[in-house]
Amino acid sequence: MMETMLDIKALEGQYSSGIYAKRDLVITRGSGALLYDEQGSEYIDCVGGQGTANVGHCQPTVIAAIQEQIQKLMICPEMFHNPTRAQFQARLCGLVPGMQRAYLCNSGTEAVEAAIKFARYSTGRPGIVAAMRGFHGRTLGSLSATWNKKYRDGFEPLVPGFSHVPYDNLEKLQEAVNDSTAAVLLEVVQGEGGVYPGSAEFLQGAQEICRQRGALLIIDEVQTGFGRTGQMFAFQHHGLQPDLVAMGKSIAAGIPMGAVLLGERVTQLSPGVHGSTFGGNPVACAAGLAVLDLLEGQQLPQRAARLGKALMDEIAALNLPAVREVRGKGLMIGIETRGKVAGLLGALAEKGVLALPAGLTVIRLLPPLVISGEQLQTVKQALIEVLSA
Ligand SMILES: *Cc1c(COP(=O)(O)O)cnc(C)c1O
């Protein structure tokens, strides 16, 4: 080891952009649902790479797929055909009946940007209706759809044409969607906003309003996709047929990738309408194929449904005084506390459990879906201890 831990922290403290609130940990290795710091201490990872590690860290089959591809070809712009990409696009479309094509990019925010452009292109209309508390990314288009001032302040003027309605309020949505609306853009479970699952009535109603008014329905599955909530995609809990589905995070096990699925109501896109240099690169596609094999072969969405429900029921049944509400879907879990969570996250880390916040008062758990029942019990014990302290 050339650098000591102190050197590493000092180096990043000095040279990294400064836009991340750092935790006092140097993470060097991961395996399944576990992370290790450079001294070898082990942590159960309920940050899950910010929701990118649904199949677990460093899965051998993902590593093998990447290695095999990287020795053949690392980059291949979409102007050329490529067998790995062709397979991946077909597999991705095959996950959702009615999906015709897949656009590939490199992150969640890029997927949302593309979906917004495709909706405007397809309808010839400018308007995008999104939800309060919604999060869709931080580049200027997706930031315009993101609601919270903490992300927007200081960056205005944002893109014109965006409006926000209260989540889960069908009347307000009804009022907001009109004949200049290109699309309604929604999460099925609001993630960054505090882990709020939408109701079936709201989401199905939103789809109906879109159909009636000639607008498209864009579902942002960046955080909820790839098994997280107990279905491959969260909209499948409610039988929705979105027109555009934005994906990212766990799509390629941590290799940067985003995607948009395009349904039947999206106009055929012509060459040059949009594009991405790295989009559809074969290494990410190889990782994505290995992810789909794991999710399907090990029935990880079903596992997330089972384990997540059990953990939520168990925590709720404890009636801990510090807990206001436990909510979520599958292994996307929010624990709303009566106080601020920043200190609680530090206390959890000291007990070997890494977790995320969602806003100021919610502890958010996004563990890899391969997490064992025993590991989840350790998480539960740690939560009980810090929430009872
Ligand atoms: C994380 C997230 C994004 C943005 O993804 P990035 O890869 O960070 O750009 C967009 N939408 C939702 C719902 C997310 O959770």
Q: Is the CB of 135 under 6 A from ligand 1?
A: yes
Alpha carbon distances (Å) from 109 to 33, 84, 102, 162, 300: 26, 24, 16, 16, 25
Output the pLDDT for position 389: 83
Q: Is the CB of 282 under 6 A from ligand 1?
A: no
Q: Is the CB of 162 under 6 A from ligand 1?
A: no
What is the residue with the minimal CA distance to atom 11 of ligand 1? 136
Residue 162 phi, psi (nearest 5): -100, 140
User: Which amino acid type is present at position 111?
Assistant: A
CB 324 within 8 A of CB 338: yes
118, 243, 249, 329: the catalytic one is: 249
- Expressed in percent and rounded to 5, the helix, strand and coil fractions of the chain are 40, 20, 40
**Domain 60-297 is found in CATH 3.40.50.10470:** no
Per residue in 299-336, pLDDT tens? 999 999 999 999 999 999 999 999 999 999 999 999 99
Among residues 93, 59, 120, 50, which one has the least CA distance to residue 264? 93
Q: Is 309 a catalytic residue?
A: no
Q: Is 249 a catalytic residue?
A: yes
Would you say 4 is a known binding-site residue? no
pLDDT in tens, the chain (389 residues): 455 767 999 999 999 999 999 999 999 999 999 999 999 999 999 999 999 999 999 999 999 999 999 999 999 999 999 999 999 999 999 999 999 999 999 999 999 999 999 999 999 999 999 999 999 999 999 999 999 999 999 999 999 999 999 999 999 999 999 999 999 999 999 999 999 999 999 999 999 999 999 999 999 999 999 999 999 999 999 999 999 999 999 999 999 999 999 999 999 999 999 999 999 999 999 999 999 999 999 999 999 999 999 999 999 999 999 999 999 999 999 999 999 999 999 999 999 999 999 999 999 999 999 999 999 999 999 999 999 98
Would you say 220 is a known binding-site residue? yes
Tokens 């479309």 belong to 93
Output the pLDDT for position 5: 67
DSSP conformational letter for 199: P
Question: Model pTM?
Answer: 0.97
Q: Is 135 a catalytic residue?
A: yes
